[in-house]
Amino acid sequence: MRQILYLCCIFSYQTHASEYQTEASKRAPSPVSANITKSIHVEKTIDDNDSELIWQGVMSSFSLPFETWKYQEASNNDNWLHGLSGNIALGFPLLKTEAANLPPNVTAGPSNTNATATLSLKYSIVGNWFVAGTVYYYIDQEQQQPWNPDFTYVFGYSDWRPYTLSLMYANYGGNRYKSTPDQAVTNFDQGTWSLGWKFPITKPFVNWLSFTDDGAIGCQTSYNYTKEYFDLASTSYKANHQTISLGCKYAIIGNWYVNATAFYYFDSEQKQPWNPDFTYGFGYFDWHPGTITLQYNNYSGNRWNSADRAEGTGRFIDGSISISYSFSF
């Protein structure tokens, strides 16, 4: 489920994202998240009720513009790192709590409550097809839990333009550099596939919802599927975790924003204590290389009814703050 959170937030839209921004991505902005900001500003130029733009966005999704390779070769003969970008980040939970009491082989669990340093890299293969990954260093290494990853990875297609489709796989489980008797290097079936569609909030609705002249809102709806997930009630792994999510990001002014994502569970019994009904965040985000981003995100077990939330989840203090520096080659 943590995979799902990151994917939606980067698009809210996402990412980072969400596009790929997931457990680490939740705490450290993803290099792919740049797409969110760009799409929000583009939506200002979209005419209302323009079905042609919607059709063009959908039909242009998943394109493979191999001809761009020749252009890149001609203009970047001395730069073999063209297409590679990333960020370095520090993440700090507002409140450090005791680790959850879960079986030793569980690779999914509550949000991390340990400060981390991360390095994220994204490589654009062709067009909007990409692969990305994040490596983690835990400030208090003794507090790293089985579900806290050494590394995470994401790949797929994500276009920043409005009205386009996206298809991504993300694995934010307890991946390890080296396997142990209790834990594999990675469990591919425990990653999440997400099929999403981006769209802007246009006039007159954006005028009703925005309180600044520069305000803009971009959203994404997604279907999320995880083949294998951990069920706390039975302390066993089960199959076919499915949700639908709707996330929106409101660019208030400049690079300042707020975002939120809501989730619908096809089977409510699949929802774990750490799986939220909604997530939210705010901060300053600049997708340009060489810039600093400061964010607050809350991916804990938020509930519409606060009486239903698990202990130590769903409160503002259960969120985290991250600061990151982006770069490209």
d(CA 119, CA 325): 10
Q: Contact, 170 vs 190, CB < 8 A?
A: no
User: Where residue 291 falls among pLDDT bands split at 50, 70, 90?
Assistant: very high
Amino acid at 276: P
Residue 75 is part of which domain span? Answer: 2-328
Tokens of 253: 């002014």
Residues 266, 242 contacting (CB under 8 angstroms): yes
Least confident of 108-122, 255-269, 276-290: 108-122
b/e burial code for range 292-318 (CB count within 10 A of at least 16 → b): ebebebbbbbbbeeeeebbebbbeeeb
Q: What are phi and psi of 57, to 5 degrees?
A: -65, -45
Task: State mean pLDDT over 59-73.
Answer: 80
Structure tokens at 165: 């489709």
Residue 31: pLDDT band by 50, 70, 90 thresholds? very low
> Strand, coil or helix: what is 84?
strand
Can you give the pLDDT at residue 212? 77
Cα–Cα distance for residue pair 192/198, rounded to 1 Å: 18
212-244 exposure pattern, b = at least 16 Cβ within 10 A, e = fewer: eeebbbbbbbbebbbebbbebeeeebeeebebe
- In angstroms, the CA 138 to CA 69 distance is 38
**Amino acid sitting at position 250:** Y
Domains contained in the chain, number: 1
| Amino acid 210: pLDDT | 79
Q: What pTM was estimated for this model as a whole? A: 0.83
Q: Is the pLDDT of residue 52 over 50?
A: yes
Terminal C-alpha separation, the chain: 32
